[in-house]
Structure 1
Amino acid sequence: MKRYLKITLAAFIISSVVLSGGWSFAANYPVPARHFVKPRHHSRLSKNEVVKLLGQAYIYGLPVVFTDFTRQVAHAANNTFSHGHQFPDHTSRWVVAPNNDTNYSSAFLDLGDDAVVLSIPDTKDRYFVVPLMDAWTNVFASFGKRTTGTKAQKYLISGPRWEGSVPQGLTQVKAPTDLVWVIGRIQVNSPDDQINFVSKIQDQFSLTTLSNWVKGNEVSSPVKFTQYPNTPSQVKDVQNKKATVVQAIKNIPIESYFNYLNDLLVKNPPLAGDEAFIKQLEKVGIKAGNKFSLTDFDSGTQEIIRKIPEEVFHRFDAAGLSLENVKPLSGSKIGDYKTDYLTRALVAYKGLGALTPEEATYIGYYTDADKNALDGNYNYTIHFEKGKLPPSTAFWSLTLYDKDRYLTANAIRRYAIGDRNNLKFNPDGSLDIYVQHENPGKEKENNWLPAPTESFNVVLRIYVPSPSYLKDHNVWVNPPLVKANNP
């Protein structure tokens, strides 16, 4: 059976962009080659070259902008955990495509002045994962049931410039940037499980600066909140619930965006392998601590530059790509992007904080078996043959999202369904999941995933996929959503 929605990123690139060769904005706005602009560095660049480099810079910077913007929206003190103690529901709009399987324990670390000690409690064999993401969204370390077990453990997380001795009992983990996002997840099975078990475990996670830890203080007092001079005003739109993070970032004017990026580059310099590329971007004013100004370019070039965000997001959306069908380039993978800046930007846009493939595989459903967009005015069924459930060694789920990729309200407050539900199997051992707006009836309600009366999408999450599936996805092919004969 043909795998559904396995659109390759390569196909998208052939039709629109190869980052290493330049985003082809200039193709939409032809400019005679004899026209030049003269930025502050006094290099002579054509308008096409300026637009190409700034298009690349916009894409290159999206991950660090998304990461810090999310931090600013949360307005959490540095080096302090914020635990999600509410069972995820349709009001959970902090991140795009929130899952209904795990609760988040999030913290933003500032490692510029001191290393930080992370203490993880014994989770009583409960599945959890605590990935550490650098400012550019690479997962440089991951602790949890799959990698380090579920017993209590402690780590010393140090920044790129930290020098010191590691106290006995701590395992050092070196971060490539001062800004680190700790985005832990712990399996949650129900609202009662949340209250009686998960929240109690979460509250035992702790962070403290090393200087505090050596004094015997296990938990730090709140640390200052870092505010950058050029923090976009759109942060307040999200805090006031006037926009989502994605909408707000789309609305940042290009000059503000690049000055924000230049601020972020001071504490979070480009990673190893980026040197040659960042040198090119410096030609158009993208440099740590630099002041980017549109007035460095003539009025015609300014007009084109202002349209870069609209063009980038239009192409991302028009390609139909999602987190679930992005195929990384250049030997990279989700969570380990190397110099694959385009994939890195797409994942930040479509699913910031995504786990690595070894921890979770995402498969998206946006169309049915006949390639028609999913519509809540119809009824659908997903049929799993006997012995062909998703190849997970932990657990799996199907989560339904609205057109904006958030959980959707429904009568039974069920936002996901999977192997932890009391599913009813068919006499032959197969399984049917009913995806529709109306209740399918008492006999089928256990297997019902409620849908809204508008367009929607479904994501299949396979936590800790089997080794055979990771090696070759063709060993198991996800079944499609089949439209029923509606009354």
Structure 2
Amino acid sequence: MKKYLKVISVLAFSGLLTSNVNAFANHWVTIGNVAVNDSVKLNKAAILKLAASAYIYGLPAVFTDFTRQASGAPNNIYAHGHKFPDHTSRLVVAPNNDTNYSSAFLDLGDDAVILTLPDTHDRYYVVPLMDAWTNVFATFGKRTTGTGPQTYVITGPHWKGTLPDGLKQVKAPTDLVWIIGRIQVNSPDDQANFVSKIQDQFKITLLSNWGKADAITSKKITTYDVELPQLKAAQAHQLNVVQAIKQLPIEDYFNYLNALLVKNPGLAADSATLKAFAVIGIGAGKKFKLDGFDAETQAALKTVSAKIYDAFDAQKRNDFKPTNGTKLGDYKTDYLTRAVVAYKGLGALTPEEATYIAYAEDADKVPLAGTRKYVIHFEPNKLPPAKAFWSLTMYDKDRYLTDNPIKRYAIGDRNPLKFNADGSLDIYVQHESPGTAKEANWLPAPADSFNVILRIYIPTDSYLADKATWVNPPLKKQK
């Protein structure tokens, strides 16, 4: 199963999200401001507006399904990550050092599945279920359902049948569902001796096989009648998922989206938006034809995706701050935020489950570098507001874990930290050891540029209600 995680992890677990994405709406496109019907002849500007809107609208579904197909993962089968992340882990951009992953893609078009969750013996874990549009419609785990054994029936939007006695039904909005489970891991020994054994007890069974001793696991992989050389390159690990999708010609992108919409229609609130897209050949079962437009419009359409990704890349990377009521995993009709999150952090946890705060500069707004020494000072009773746990993870300039003499890639409340006499805490962030007396609180940095991510697992209710109740301290350069 490891090979399935290989491609998935290239995209899915970047951890760094974006803020202030609504500024992009004014820069390029605002969805819903083009009123059209079948009798209207659109000018080039209106066509481009619709095309950009449709590209953004469809991006989460395309990224999710492209990731599924690129991984080669059969439907309805778990793939567990059993390797403890260290500096040799190059498959995940900005990997966390706190949890390991268990991933599965469900196809609920033909059958429901039964999801079996084991007793994790009070160990933190989370199993979020995302629909094709990256909305999280169910979350199981320590925060929501506890850590005891649990069993659920996951059904598609059109499923009709009889539930096994005593099992709870969870209805998915789309046939395509992505499960991206995480379980807390504390060390390589913990992974080998405890976590891996627990992971292997997470099970997915077709409802039609439930109770059969000789049930055979399905090896089916859902495909669509869209030939994409970029997908084949991703499957062969010649391109990662982001690179491959960026290279898709606009016609192939939209026809891939059209195929996805057949089995994974948008939400009811999307109907007016989808009706507008249909005028230019975008919709379930439709055919988008680039040669149906004049030469000038064709040339402009070919630039749409590059303009979108350039705008997305220009956004400042920071902790995700929801805007206009939008939050991770519950996007409603905020298609722009949904698309940016899918692009920069597909599979990100909901804010109730985890908060990410990125450090790229010190308190003086100078980029972080291993040539300098820093300290993060937490005042007494002002540690990160976590109900589960928190950590600070070190990354090199390419956002990978960095090798160091004490093999410490992250530091947090699970470490034997030394507090000051007044109850405050100092974390030393630097390349060289701060000395034996301070080494318990040392987060080793590379010799050159770096960044740090603070992760807060299950933030407190007060922090979620008002982020001003706790402000993360800066990295201050030491003299």
- The normalised TM-score by structure 1 is 0.89
Return the offset for 1:307: 1.5
- Aligned pair count? 462
Return the offset for 1:467: 1.2
Code of the residue aligned with 1:147 in structure 2: it is T
Residue from 267, 290, 297 that aligns with 1:294? 290
* CA–CA distance in structure 2, aligned partners of residues 411 and 70 of structure 1: 36
Q: SS in structure 1 opposite 2:377?
A: strand
Q: SS in structure 2 opposite 1:449?
A: strand
Return the offset for 1:50: 0.9
Q: Note if 1:482 corresponds to 2:476.
A: yes
* CA–CA distance in structure 2, aligned partners of residues 310 and 65 of structure 1: 16
Code of the residue aligned with 1:190 in structure 2: it is S
* CA–CA distance in structure 1, aligned partners of residues 456 and 150 of structure 2: 26
Q: Note if 1:268 corresponds to 2:264.
A: yes
Return the offset for 1:158: 0.1
Change (3 A) 1:73 1:456: farther
Q: Note if 1:473 corresponds to 2:467.
A: yes
- What corresponds to 1:421 in structure 2? 415
| Structure 2 unaligned blocks of 5 or more | 1-15
Could you list the per-position Cα deviations for residues 264-323 of structure 1 after superposition, in whole angstroms to 9, with x for gaps in the alignment?
Answer: 11111111210000111111221122222221222222222122222111111212144x
* CA–CA distance in structure 2, aligned partners of residues 381 and 244 of structure 1: 36
Change (3 A) 1:78 1:443: same
Could you list the per-position Cα deviations for residues 351-409 of structure 1 after superposition, in whole angstroms to 9, with x for gaps in the alignment?
Answer: 11111111111112222212233334433221111211001111011123344444344
* CA–CA distance in structure 2, aligned partners of residues 405 and 342 of structure 1: 25
Q: Note if 1:325 corresponds to 2:336.
A: no
Change (3 A) 1:191 1:332: same
Change (3 A) 1:14 1:155: closer
- The normalised TM-score by structure 2 is 0.90
* CA–CA distance in structure 2, aligned partners of residues 203 and 367 of structure 1: 40
Superposed CA RMSD: 2.4
Q: Which moves more between the two structures, 94-103 or 122-131? A: 94-103
Change (3 A) 1:403 1:45: farther
- What corresponds to 2:57 in structure 1? 60
- What corresponds to 2:31 in structure 1? 20
Q: SS in structure 1 opposite 2:381?
A: coil
* CA–CA distance in structure 2, aligned partners of residues 19 and 225 of structure 1: 36
Return the offset for 1:200: 0.5
- What corresponds to 1:9 in structure 2? 20
Q: Is the 8 A contact 2:60 2:339 kept in 1?
A: yes
Q: Is the 8 A contact 2:18 2:340 kept in 1?
A: no
- What corresponds to 1:84 in structure 2? 81
Q: Note if 1:310 corresponds to 2:306.
A: yes
Q: SS in structure 2 opposite 1:182?
A: strand
Code of the residue aligned with 1:387 in structure 2: it is N
Q: Note if 1:458 corresponds to 2:452.
A: yes
Change (3 A) 1:290 1:11: closer
Return the offset for 1:184: 0.8
Structure of greater relative contact order (alpha carbons < 8 Å, 6+ residues apart): 2
Between the aligned residues of both structures, percent identity stands at 64
Return the offset for 1:438: 3.2
Q: Is the 8 A contact 1:97 1:351 kept in 2?
A: no
Q: Note if 1:351 corresponds to 2:348.
A: no
* CA–CA distance in structure 1, aligned partners of residues 246 and 141 of structure 2: 34
Code of the residue aligned with 1:475 in structure 2: it is T
Residue from 151, 154, 158 that aligns with 1:157? 154
Q: Note if 1:250 corresponds to 2:246.
A: yes
Equivalent positions of 1:29-108 (< 5 A) are 43-108=40-105
Q: Is the 8 A contact 1:129 1:145 kept in 2?
A: yes
* CA–CA distance in structure 1, aligned partners of residues 90 and 282 of structure 2: 32
- What corresponds to 2:280 in structure 1? 284
Q: Is the 8 A contact 2:90 2:400 kept in 1?
A: yes
* CA–CA distance in structure 1, aligned partners of residues 309 and 125 of structure 2: 33
* CA–CA distance in structure 2, aligned partners of residues 187 and 114 of structure 1: 31
* CA–CA distance in structure 2, aligned partners of residues 402 and 438 of structure 1: 15
Return the offset for 1:96: 4.1
Q: SS in structure 2 opposite 1:407?
A: coil
- What corresponds to 2:220 in structure 1? 224
Return the offset for 1:439: 3.4
Return the offset for 1:85: 0.6
Return the offset for 1:106: 0.6
Could you list the per-position Cα deviations for residues 436-481 of structure 1 after superposition, in whole angstroms to 9, with x for gaps in the alignment?
Answer: 3333333333322233344432221111111111111111110011
* CA–CA distance in structure 2, aligned partners of residues 316 and 298 of structure 1: 28
* CA–CA distance in structure 2, aligned partners of residues 285 and 375 of structure 1: 50
Q: Is the 8 A contact 1:96 1:350 kept in 2?
A: no
Change (3 A) 1:448 1:298: farther
Q: SS in structure 1 opposite 2:151?
A: strand
Code of the residue aligned with 1:435 in structure 2: it is V
- What corresponds to 2:142 in structure 1? 145
* CA–CA distance in structure 1, aligned partners of residues 461 and 269 of structure 2: 30
Q: SS in structure 2 opposite 1:45?
A: coil
Return the offset for 1:345: 0.9
Could you list the per-position Cα deviations for residues 5-58 of structure 1 after superposition, in whole angstroms to 9, with x for gaps in the alignment?
Answer: 9995266247625633569xxxxxxxxxxxxxxx9x775111111111111111
* CA–CA distance in structure 2, aligned partners of residues 156 and 281 of structure 1: 35
| Structure 1 unaligned blocks of 5 or more | 24-38
Change (3 A) 1:8 1:240: closer
Return the offset for 1:215: 3.3
Q: SS in structure 2 opposite 1:56?
A: helix
Code of the residue aligned with 2:162 in structure 1: it is S
- What corresponds to 1:212 in structure 2? 209
Q: SS in structure 1 opposite 2:436?
A: coil
* CA–CA distance in structure 2, aligned partners of residues 8 and 128 of structure 1: 27
Code of the residue aligned with 2:247 in structure 1: it is N
Residue from 377, 385, 392 that aligns with 2:379? 385
Code of the residue aligned with 1:246 in structure 2: it is V
Q: SS in structure 2 opposite 1:274?
A: helix
